[in-house]
Structure 1
Amino acid sequence: MLSEKRSKSSETPTPCAADSKAVPTIIFFTKGTAVDRVDGVNVAEITAKCKKLGGSVAGESLEERLKALINKADLMIFMKGDRNAPRCGFSRQIIEIVNATNVPYETFDILNDEEVRQGLKTYSDWPTYPQVYVKGELIGGLDIIKELKANNELETALKG
C-alpha cells in the first residue's frame, strides 16, 4: 500500500536532515519500512516503482482479493458499469435479465479497477465480461445467462 508523506520546509531544517539528495525525494514504504526511493523528478521511474510496489490492500494478494469480491454476495456480477448505469450493451442486457428474476445481487464495475478486470479473466479462465458468479462459482457470461433463461433454468441457477 502506498501512502504519501509531505514535509514543509520549515519542519525539515535542511535536506540533509531528511537524507534527501534532491527535491523532490519520494520514499516508498512497505509495512513502515523504507524499501525504495526516487531522488528528483523522474516520472518514468516513479511510475514504474508505483506499479511494482503499489499492489492493492496491504498484505492482500490479488487472488485473495478476487475471492473476497466473488463471494461478496450470493449472486455477484462483474460488469462494465453497475446495476444503475450499465456502460455497455452486454452489461445492460444481463442486468435486464437478472432484474426480471427478482434474485438479489451485487455488481462490481470492472472499469474502476484494472487489476481486478485483468486478474479475474485469468483467475476464472473466462476472457469476457460480464461475468456472473453464484456462491463463489462462475456461471458464465451473457450467452450462458440467455441459455439458462431460454431453458427456464435461470432463477434456479441464480439462487444456487
Structure 2
Amino acid sequence: MLLMKGTPQEARCGFSKQMVEIVHTYNIQCSGFDIFSDEEVPQEPQTYSNWSTYPQLSVSGELIRRLDVLTTKELEASEELHTICPKSPKLHEKLKALTNKASVMFFKKGNKQEAKCGFSKQILEILSSSGVEYEIFDILEAEEVQQGLKAYSNWPTYPQLYVKGELAGGLDIVKEVNENVNCCLY
C-alpha cells in the first residue's frame, strides 16, 4: 500500500509522484491511498508507523521506505524493493488475461449500464439484442490498460470488442458482422 498525497494517477506532491514512478518502474503491485480522502486517516499512519510524513510504502502493514529520507537513487539501488514487494503482472500478460476473461470482452468508456460515448452505446445495443453473453471493462478506470490495449491490439481507438481473446474490431466491424448475420437469417 502506498499512502500518499493524491492518487497514483494524480499525485499531489513531488515525493508522492516520485514514489509512484518508482513503483511503476519496478513493476511493483501496489494500491495507492489518498491521505486527503478521509480526515481521520492522516493521523492514523503517523501513529501506526511512527513517521509523520508521506508518502509511505508499506508491505503487509509494515513501513518499508519513505522517499523524503532517501534519495531516489538510494531507494532504487536498494535490493529491498526487488525482494519484498509483490510484482505486478507484465502489461502484455495482463492485457492477454483481460481480453480472455470472457468469451466476449467489450472494452469501452463506461460500465454496462452507462455508455460514455455513442459508439459504445451502439455496440451495447447490438450485444444486448443478440443475446450474447459478454463482459465489460471500463477503460476509464485504468489508464495503463487504456493506453496499452491500443498497442497490444494495434487498434488505436475505442470501443474494442474481443472474441475468445482476439480483436473483433470496433463499431464499424461489429455493425457489418451484425448486418451480415441478420441478412443471412432472413
Specify if TM > 0.5: yes
2:176 matched to which residue of 1?
147
2:12 matched to which residue of 1?
none
Question: How far did 1:38 drift?
Answer: 2.0
1:102 matched to which residue of 2?
131
**Is it true that 1:113 corresponds to 2:152 in the alignment?**
no
C-alpha separation in 1, matches of 2:45 and 2:63: 17
TM-score normalised over the length of structure 2: 0.59
Structure 1 residues 5-51: Cα deviation after superposition (integer angstroms, max 9, x where no partner): 92318x74xxxxx7xxxx525354689895x64218xxxx9xxx9xx
1:73 matched to which residue of 2?
102
Alpha-carbon spacing, 1:28–1:80, altered in 2? closer, same or farther (3 Å) = same
2:13 matched to which residue of 1?
none
Which structure dedicates a bigger proportion of its chain to strand?
A: 1
**Superposition RMSD on alpha carbons, in Å?**
3.4
Q: 1:91 aligns with which of 108, 114, 120?
A: 120
**Is it true that 1:58 corresponds to 2:87 in the alignment?**
yes
Structure 1 residues 77-114: Cα deviation after superposition (integer angstroms, max 9, x where no partner): 00011221111100000000111110100111111111
Q: How many residues align?
A: 131
Contact 1:76 1:106 in 2 (8 A): yes
Contact 2:56 2:63 in 1 (8 A): no
Aligned AA (1:6): P
C-alpha separation in 2, matches of 1:147 and 1:67: 26
Contact 1:2 1:29 in 2 (8 A): no
C-alpha separation in 2, matches of 1:137 and 1:72: 12
Alpha-carbon spacing, 1:107–1:29, altered in 2? closer, same or farther (3 Å) = same
Alpha-carbon spacing, 1:91–1:150, altered in 2? closer, same or farther (3 Å) = same
Which structure dedicates a bigger proportion of its chain to helix?
A: 2
TM-score normalised over the length of structure 1: 0.68
C-alpha separation in 1, matches of 2:87 and 2:177: 39
**Identical columns (%):** 47
**Is it true that 1:2 corresponds to 2:30 in the alignment?**
yes
